[in-house]
Every structure is written in structure tokens, then in C-alpha cells.
Structure 1
């Protein structure tokens, strides 16, 4: 970062404590997704272990996988954080000290915690772990942020309900790292602290069991009679997704240190596409703040991932009725994830790919790679790895060979047009 950018940041925030450039923090539901998140530009990833996290339905990580993921991330200069963000009942705390010490031994850089009991236990028994305050604490004022800093926490993940003006004020008042969600699913409740799931299914949202009841389809009754008109669609209580790709300068100017993407349950294609777009936007701004311009291809790339309708959350105004999804969602993404490149032969221009959804000759596809590498083409002849002709790649994880119009590299992705 240039001296002028640092000085300007100091004038805006009144503080010098901020990362050299904003950290791009990506979700990883399993080890494969972790590797793709880092490969496509994440500075850090957050994962879940087998206990104490709020995504019990994600694949989550064993300690061996955490260690492997940390070693892979370190090769790229990236870090791994572990979510331990449940609100614990008494029985949940059995074994928590040993669990946190194992995270420390596995090379994890930080935990993300909400419950003060977990925070205090980590500080006592695993002092090498940084403790970041989870968004589940609904922190949105500088006095609360200062309290947590005085408790020894170097970073606070602000509530999704925090506005841009409030972020500026917090950064001005408190010399601490601020992490903010900038992309992904929003919650119809306050900072995810919902009890609908508990009521309907006896699955505790705040202990990792959310059944996403806000996404269910509902009828409306008065007494025992439906009051919905005949033929009217059932409604949901789900909110639109957050997207701040068009507002990178505002986030940096406000003093946000870590840009967090939601989505540990999302696909490899989603994680790679979204990280790729934000990586390019952040790097472009940091390279030339005065000459920065939003590129349409970054916005297009976001649109090619599987998003719900998008908005800017609470950053600029309180979302109104138009920011919720009431009827069946139209699938906005015009592409499906089709394959991962595993090898490329420069002499023949032939790529070997691992199938993730069916494709066949004649289909329109795109290849994408880190840094915005991208090109479109039609699928030509297909063969298996022994050279036998294929009329379609239909088997999951099948290795397939095809000619590409430009060079590709391992971990590049192929997606198919479904317009």
C-alpha cells in the first residue's frame, strides 16, 4: 500500500490500526472448497469443525483436514479461521478446552466465537488462537466494540444490521479490526438469532441446527380458513442476498478490514466465482484508488453464480418490504458448474477435466481461472482418458478430454450455459 493511501485512511478513521489492505475472507464447507477459495484469491477462509459451529449440515472438518487445509493455505500466504460460534448450553461446554487446544495444535489462526464462555476458555487454554467476535453477538455500536477490545479481542465481526455510517464511527472511536459481511445470504431474524427453527422442528438455530424455515412456503390462515386467493402462490419470509461488489470504495473508506463472504453450504463454483470477482475489485482499488472504476465483468461474474435476487442489505438504508422474497424465485444464474480442469497438454491443446454435471458436444461453455482469466467456446469432440469417444459426459467425477481454444490450468473451472 502506498504512503498516501495509508495517510488518507488515517485521516478518515483517526486510527492507524488497520490491515495493509482489506482481507478477503471466504467460506469453505469442506477441504476441496477451501483449496478453491484460496486458489481463487481468498486471503483467509473460515471453516467449521465437528463441534461448536452454526453449520452442522455442512461437511465440516476433522482435525487432520484442518491441518492439511492450513498447510495448503500457508503456501498462498492465507489463514484459516474456525467458527465456534454457538450459544452454548451447559452440556455443550464439556470438552471445549481440549477442542480449542487441538485447534491451536492444528495451526488454526483464529476462532470466531459468540459465547463469552468460549471466548474466555480460548484465551485461557489456547492463547495462540486469536479470538474474533462473531456476528452472532449483534455488535453495532462503538461502546460494545470497545468492551470486546478491552476483553482482549483483536477483531469484531459486526452485525449485518450495522450501517455504513455506524461502521465509520466505530472505526473512528475504537482501534480494532472490523470484519463485515459483504456478500451472501441475509437472515430474516436479527443477526441469525432465530427461534423459528426451534419451534417448528426442535432444531436449535443457535446451536448449529437451523432448518431455514424462513425459506419454506407458507399459507395464510384466519382461524382455520385460508385467506389467500385461489391460485395465489404460497409465500416465504426469506430475504434477498447481500452484494457489495459495486461499493468497494465505500467499504474501504469506512475502515472495514475484512470483507466476509457468506456461504459454507455453497458450491465450489459459487465460492470460486464470487471470490474471483471481489479479489479483482479490491486489488484494482488498492492499486489505484483515484483511478478506480467498477468493471462490468466483475458484476457479470457475480451474476453467474447461484444467487438469490441481490441488494445492499442495511449498509445504506433499512430494507423494506421490497427486499424480501415472497414468491417462487427465478433462477438468476445462467450457468451451471460442469467440470474442473485437472490437466492440460500444450502440444495438443487437449484438456482433461473432471465432470461435475453432464455436458455434451455442441454445448456453449466458459472456462474461468483466477485473476479474471476467462473465455467461451463450444464443446467439441469428447473422449475418455483412454481416447475412447464419448457422446456425453454423464458420470459424476468422470475424467474427460476435450480440446480448448486457449490454454487452461489445473483448478480452472468449466461451466455450461443454460439460458
Structure 2
């Protein structure tokens, strides 16, 4: 008998680098967001939360029946612990739906200073069912599994420990090191990835050959062109077409990487994965898959891979360039209307008569740019980006909702 998945619980979890992006994520389909204070987060440079905005993000999520998970997912040194108990207590007062952590010491602090559920971060490298059971015995409610697991391993974990919630990353950048535990940045730049300050040397261009010290003359084979090589530069993960297999394997949490990404990335990916999950439950997954896959290619990306989902990563998993694939320009977000003109902070250049697309949570519209006014309401032919205050007022054929995304296909 075929299992009915229509009522099965699934949760789409989007990154929130700040309060604004959290609001965008929820509007475009996220069931939950994750974010936190910079000093305790693995995306320190991209996180823009303080206690006040974190509190507001949690309140905002709950007002729409959504969830917000707070990250305390660094690997802590002693100096990180000086105020952490006080900060955990303060965050707990905001009533987040979970705290994401990997460091056992931080997990213990959370348990001693709050009753907030703990979700185990992917940084804990959970790769087998016995480890899941170990963490379950310590009171962990959900495990964000290591990215290095194959589908059959995820299925076995669920079979062995069926009452633990399993969450996996389904989209976003991949670290070349095991579950992100990288020391390249710390060694090469003094910026420690496991303290949230990765300089991403894996994305740099390297020239020459690699020789191990104890094996002189034994060179690691490196393919390179006239520009050099990107031997450490992983492709991006995309599992949208494999959501049915993951659901059937027992996964309930579907997580997207990208607290350093734009609001456009958040909107497009949230929308695509939400529609895919809904279509699967409605028995219409294949009807919309091609369209949704195409949508994931309208953001900047490093080509796509399924990572380790179907076994060991194969040849060709390294992306051979620092410049990402780009098929569309993100032009801006509609903030409001003023006398029939859409107010848009300019992110990339556009001009009168350009053919553009307007993305809303439910539908994508084709449009053409009409008249353009600059910030002083003077008529211009071209809208150029610049500082954040660079805005344009654009005449369109109809009014679109606040937070609609505007983009243009590149020729």
C-alpha cells in the first residue's frame, strides 16, 4: 500500500542574516529561519543581529505561526564563555523555538540556563545512528546531519532512531572540509572558520603543483588551465529534485545555507523549495519540477551537485572558477508605491523599456520598465546602482506587493 505523504510534517528552514532577510524568507515560504548573534555564529561577518532585532525576529516569526532557531554554533574557546551563560538566559527570554549548537560545553550551558530545545548543528559531524542515539539520550530533539551522508545512511539512521527529528542541508554553498571543520583560513589568514570568521581560501585561485613534505617529488595531480586551478572550490549543493527520496528516508527538516546571501537568493530559493514540497504532498511534484529547477538557476551559483547523497562525491565536483554562474541580474525590491511609481533601491543597472520579471510569493510576472524617476523625482533614462540610498521610482503596468523581487535576464 502506497504511503500517503499529504499530511506529513515537513519544515523548510531558511537562513536569516538579519531581520529584513528573515521577513523575506517567511513571506516567500520558509517555515522557520535560523540566525544569531555574530559572536556565537559561524557566519560572523554576515550576521547583523543584536538582542533587539533577534527578539523582534522571533516575535515576527511567531506572529505568523512560524519558527525561529537561534545559532550558538561556534566551537568555543575559553574567552567565548565569559558572557555566554548570561547571553543564553537573555535569548531564552525571547522564547526561540530552538537553539542550534554543536559544542558540548555550549549545549550544557543551554540545558542549565534555559528550557529551550537544542538542535544539534551539522558541525557536530553526526554520521551514524549510534551518535544520533547518544545525542538523543542527552536530550537533543533534532539532529542536523552531516552533509557527507548518503541517502541510504540517512534512511538507516531514521529506521534505527525513528523518534529523533532529522534535518539535512538541501541547498547552498559546500565546504571542502568535513562538515565545515576547516583550518585553511586559520592557518593562511589567521581568521578561524570555526569561530565564524572564514576567509574562504578554498575559493582562491592556486597555481603550480602540490607536493607533500614527506614525499618529495611525489606531486598531487592538479588539473589546471592557463589561469591556474580551483582544487578546493566545491560546487553548490542542490537537492530540489530529490526531496521525495529525502522525505521517504525520514527527513522532516530541509535546510538552506546562505546567511551571507542576498534577499533575492532567500526569496527565490525559499519559493522554489516551498512549492516543491507542497507539490510532492499534492502528488504533482513532477509537474512543476523542471520549472522550479530552472528557478534555482536564476541566482548566482557555482554549478550544482548532489554532493554525497548517492555515495562518494565524484570527479567534477570542483567548480573551476571564482566567478559564479549568472543568468539574471537582481535589480532590487519593491518597497512601496508613490503616486503610481514603484520605489526600488537599485542593485543593478536597468533602463527604460527593459524587459524584466517581477517575482512574488505566488507568481512570476513579465514586465517592461516604463518611466524612471531618480530619488529627486527627476526623469532619467537609466537607473544606476550606487550607495544604499540610490533609489529609483519606476512606472510598471500594475502595482505589485511590497517585497516583490525585480530581476532582468542577461543576454
* TM-score scaled by length of structure 2: 0.90
1:218 Cα offset (Å): 0.8
Change in CA separation of 1:89 and 1:387 when aligned onto 2, cut-off 3 Å:
closer
- Supply the distance in 2 between the matched residues of 1:229 and 1:295 (Cα, whole angstroms): 34
- Supply the distance in 2 between the matched residues of 1:138 and 1:369 (Cα, whole angstroms): 37
Question: Is 2:228 the counterpart of 1:234?
Answer: yes
**Aligned mate of 1:359, from 350, 359, 377:** 350
**Is the 2:241–2:289 Cα contact (8 Å) retained in structure 1?**
no
**Is the 2:203–2:322 Cα contact (8 Å) retained in structure 1?**
no
- Supply the distance in 2 between the matched residues of 1:29 and 1:330 (Cα, whole angstroms): 22
Q: Secondary structure at the match of 2:335?
A: strand
1:197 Cα offset (Å): 1.1
- Supply the distance in 2 between the matched residues of 1:230 and 1:414 (Cα, whole angstroms): 38
**Aligned mate of 1:340, from 329, 333, 336:** 333
1:401 corresponds in structure 2 to 393
1:275 Cα offset (Å): 0.6
1:362 Cα offset (Å): 2.4
* TM-score scaled by length of structure 1: 0.89
Alignment of 1:189-338 (within 5 A): 189-221=177-209, 232-236=226-230, 237-286=232-281, 288-289=282-283, 293-325=287-319, 327-329=320-322, 331-338=324-331
1:231 Cα offset (Å): 6.9
1:302-339, Cα deviation, whole Å (9 max, x unpaired): 000111110111111211231112x3256422111112
- Supply the distance in 1 between the matched residues of 2:403 and 2:337 (Cα, whole angstroms): 11
**Is the 2:279–2:285 Cα contact (8 Å) retained in structure 1?**
no
Question: Is 2:63 the counterpart of 1:68?
Answer: no
- Supply the distance in 2 between the matched residues of 1:205 and 1:385 (Cα, whole angstroms): 40
1:378 Cα offset (Å): 2.4
**Is the 2:25–2:267 Cα contact (8 Å) retained in structure 1?**
yes
1:159 Cα offset (Å): 0.1
2:176 corresponds in structure 1 to 188
Q: Bigger CA drift: 143-152 or 90-99?
A: 90-99
2:408 corresponds in structure 1 to 416
5+ residue gaps, structure 2, are none
1:387 Cα offset (Å): 4.7
1:344 Cα offset (Å): 4.3
- Supply the distance in 2 between the matched residues of 1:67 and 1:267 (Cα, whole angstroms): 22
**Is the 1:358–1:392 Cα contact (8 Å) retained in structure 2?**
yes
- Supply the distance in 2 between the matched residues of 1:180 and 1:228 (Cα, whole angstroms): 31
**Aligned mate of 1:392, from 358, 378, 382:** 382
5+ residue gaps, structure 1, are 10-18
- Supply the distance in 2 between the matched residues of 1:162 and 1:398 (Cα, whole angstroms): 45
1:160 Cα offset (Å): 0.2
**Aligned mate of 2:90, from 77, 95, 102:** 102
Question: Is 2:48 the counterpart of 1:57?
Answer: no
**Is the 1:340–1:411 Cα contact (8 Å) retained in structure 2?**
yes
1:228 Cα offset (Å): 8.8
1:230 Cα offset (Å): 10
**Is the 2:351–2:383 Cα contact (8 Å) retained in structure 1?**
yes
Q: Bigger CA drift: 256-265 or 381-390?
A: 381-390
1:178 corresponds in structure 2 to 166
Count of aligned pairs between the two proteins: 400
Q: Bigger CA drift: 251-260 or 198-207?
A: 198-207
Q: Secondary structure at the match of 2:254?
A: strand
Question: Is 2:37 the counterpart of 1:37?
Answer: no
- Supply the distance in 2 between the matched residues of 1:308 and 1:339 (Cα, whole angstroms): 22
**Aligned mate of 2:122, from 117, 135, 139:** 135
Q: Secondary structure at the match of 1:238?
A: coil
- Supply the distance in 2 between the matched residues of 1:355 and 1:284 (Cα, whole angstroms): 34
- Supply the distance in 2 between the matched residues of 1:268 and 1:387 (Cα, whole angstroms): 26
**Is the 1:336–1:418 Cα contact (8 Å) retained in structure 2?**
yes
Change in CA separation of 1:115 and 1:403 when aligned onto 2, cut-off 3 Å:
same
Change in CA separation of 1:201 and 1:398 when aligned onto 2, cut-off 3 Å:
closer
